[in-house]
Every structure is written in structure tokens, then in C-alpha cells.
A = this chain, B = another copy of it.
């Protein structure tokens, strides 16, 4: 087994034996590396704090089983030793933990379903979170914000819950942009039941579904709060679209603020109970008011303040000629498709398709596999 695979297996074991965040274990792994740390945890040869965090489950050595079960479901374990590990944004958790911010330890690894490389989309990424019991206004605004951000190539992160979260993911999908669902349960927990197919769509359309929790872990209230730190850390800013007086979205916003990220809230009618949390965040200067996509972009600092700056290409594919774009859009993002089938689907003559596909491959838009041609994950 290669070094990285040994480390991956060690981290798969460690993710199962301690309930995150496990600050003692994270520090222990940082000091000794995952392989040695895993061996010592297994033997009980570790400092008291680590032993306490791992005592209940250290016998559960199911790493091979977990990795196989994940692979069977199209998921993988992304570890800090991988290139796609989003090291820079997660560093905000390490810094916060060092400052003594409770519950801000970074994850030991992340289970990921979907082809998206987190490292490639975290630059400019925005979290859109809010009430499950959102109003039509809140869902509409979440969809519009997510669509607008995704349309500008900015990844939209959320928590896959009903209401605002789901609307945000759907808005990003509608724009053909990357969206990431970070769960408070295992990828295979099937939660929430009504959003299983939404998670499938996210994973199949250039996005990712992400969790710290090993296969089979059910959702739990404390896990949503622990998960919130990942949403806050992996993005440059969090927008709260609707939130009642006590809301998990306000928890994410508070964490984002503690991590030094931009915290934003969308106002609404003062007569709406689901805007109370947003108004309070703004009134108490914990969040900046945002009323449009442009204001979100300005707040996360993606565009700087000058009006003279040349306009960014709205999408990576903006530079493609019309026929190349039609070919690109006819490519599946998973499995593969023959050039003939792409020609039929796109309406572009097959000899043109045969000429364009290698060009798209060189530019990083397409790749050829055993099953045929497929779309490459969108470049950030």
C-alpha cells in the first residue's frame, strides 16, 4: 500500500473512533502523523484526552469496510495528504482552535461524493444557509442568490436541509455551477429523506456531497452544529437568507464570524418571523446587510471595489465557440459517451465533434475514458 493509502486507511479508522470535533485526537495526529496515531490509539497508548475521545469506539477497526462501502456508493475519503484537500480554508479552523474557540478543530478527513475537487472551488465560495421553514420569499431569494453566484463561477455551499438550503443548492444547479452539500450525518444516511435525490443531482452534476461522518452515521442535533463549522470554514462568507429568533443558521453565521469570514444576512419584511434572526444579526453588527448578488460578491471581496476592473468571464466555458459549447454541454459528467452519441445529442456533425473533443480535452473541458468521452469537473 502506498503511503497516502496507508494514511487514508488510518484516517478512515480515526474518523470512526472519535466523534468530531476531537481536539485531542486532532492534535495527536498532527504531532505523530495519522499512521502512528492510529496504531497508538488502537493500542490505547495515547495521552488521557485522546484516550477519552477514543475509548468508546477504539475497537471499531472498520477502515477497510468503510472505504469499500463508500467506494461502492461512489464516494471517497479525501485526506489532508491529497491534492484536493482544501487545506487553506480549513486552516481557519486550526487558527481558531489555537485561539481557544470551542469546537473549532479541523476535520481529520472528509468523505466526498461527486467529482468536484474542494480545493479548486473554495476560492470565492459562499455559503447560503437559513430556515428549514422558509417562506416563499426566502426560498426565492436563496435560489436567486445561488443562481447568480454560481453563474459567476462561485461555488455555493449549504447543508442540504429543507427550505433555504435546498433552494440554494437548486439555484446553483440551475445555473450549471458547482454546489456542495455538507451533511451532519453519513453520506449514505439518506437524510433528509426528501433531499436524497437532490444530493444525487449535486454529486452527478459537478458538485459534491461532503461529510466527516463514516458510512451509516445517523443525523443528530449536535452533528448539525459540528457540521456548521465546516460550512463556515470552507467558504469565504456565509449569507443567512431567513432565520427565526433561534436558528441553526445563526450558529453557522456566528462560527463564520469567529473564523474571520464574511457574515451576511438578507433582510425581509419586519412582519415576517423568519426574517427576525437576519434583522437581529444585522442590527447587532454581526452581519452585513446584503440585498443582491452584487452585494454578496462585493462583501466577500471577490471583485475588489474599483469599477474600472475588467469584467471577469462569467463562466469558464464563456471562451468556447458555439459548436464547442454545444459539444461540451452534450457530454455526461459521469460514465462516458461515444462521439457519435455526442454528435446526435448536440446536433453538431460527427466529424466536427471528432475534431472538437481532443481540443476540449487539451483545454481541460473533456476527458476520454474506457466508457467514452465525459465532461471534466468545471474549473474554478
Q: How far is the CA of A137 from the CA of B268 in the complex (A)?
A: 12
A291–chain B nearest beta-carbon distance, Å: 4
Of the 9-residue stretches A55-63, A224-232, A276-284, which lies at the interface with chain B? A276-284
User: Cβ of A137 and Cβ of B269 under 8 Å apart?
Assistant: yes
Give the docked Cα–Cα distance between A292 and B290 (Å): 20
Decide if B289 touches A141 in the complex (CB within 8 Å): no
Which has the most chain B C-beta neighbours within 10 Å: A275, A282, A289, A295? A289
Please state if A289 and B295 are interface contacts (CB–CB under 8 Å): no
For A285, the closest partner residue in chain B by CB is: B285
Stoichiometry, as copies per complex, reads 2
- The answer for the CA separation of A270 and B241 in the assembled complex, in Å, is 11
Residues of B contacting A163 with CB < 8 Å? none
Q: Which residues of B contact A270 (CB under 8 A)?
A: 141, 266-268, 291-292
Judged by a CB distance under 8 angstroms, whether A288 is at the interface is: yes
A141: B residues at CB distance < 8 A: 270
| Alpha-carbon distance A266/B272, docked complex (angstroms) | 13
* Interface magnitude class on chain A: 10 to 19
Within 8 A of B (CB), among A251-308: 266-271, 275-276, 279, 282-283, 288-292, 295
Do the beta carbons of B266 and A268 come within 8 Å of each other? no
Min distance, Cβ A345 to any Cβ of chain B, angstroms: 37
Cα distance, A269 to B292, chains bound together (Å)? 11
**CB within 8 A of A267: which of B279, B288, B292?**
B279
How many Å lie between the Cα of A271 and that of B267 in the bound state? 10
Q: How far is the CB of A274 from chain B (nearest CB, A)?
A: 12
Interface residues of A in 320-336 (CB under 8 A from B): none
Within 8 A of B (CB), among A132-171: 137, 141
Give Cα A291–Cα B279 distance, bound, in whole angstroms: 7
What distance in Å separates the Cβ of A65 from its nearest Cβ neighbour in chain B? Answer: 49
CB distance A295 to B283 under 8 Å?
yes
Cβ A289 vs Cβ B291 within 8 A? no
Complexed CA–CA distance, A104 and B36 (Å): 73
A283 to B271, CA, bound (A): 20
User: Shortest Cβ distance from A265 into chain B, in angstroms?
Assistant: 10
> Is the CB–CB distance between A291 and B295 below 8 Å?
no
Query: Which residues of chain B are within 8 angstroms of A291 by Cβ–Cβ distance?
Result: 270, 276, 279, 283
Q: Which residues of B contact A275 (CB under 8 A)?
A: 267
Complex interface: chain B residues within 8 A of A276 (CB): 291
Complex: chain B residue closest to A284, CB-CB: B289
Chain B residues with CB under 8 A of A295: 283
Closest Cβ of chain B: how far from A206's Cβ, in Å? 28
A298 closest partner in B (C-beta): B283
- Docked pose: A275 CA to B271 CA in angstroms: 14
Query: Mind listing 5 A-B residue pairs with CB under 8 Å?
Result: A267-B279, A267-B282, A270-B291, A282-B282, A283-B288
Name 15 extra pairs, CB < 8 A, besides A137-B271, A266-B270: A137-B269, A141-B270, A267-B267, A267-B268, A267-B269, A267-B270, A267-B282, A268-B269, A270-B292, A276-B291, A282-B289, A283-B288, A283-B289, A283-B291, A289-B289
Interface residues of A (CB under 8 A from B): 137, 141, 266-271, 275-276, 279, 282-283, 288-292, 295
| Cβ-closest 8 pairs across A and B | A267-B267, A270-B291, A283-B289, A279-B291, A282-B289, A269-B269, A279-B289, A268-B269
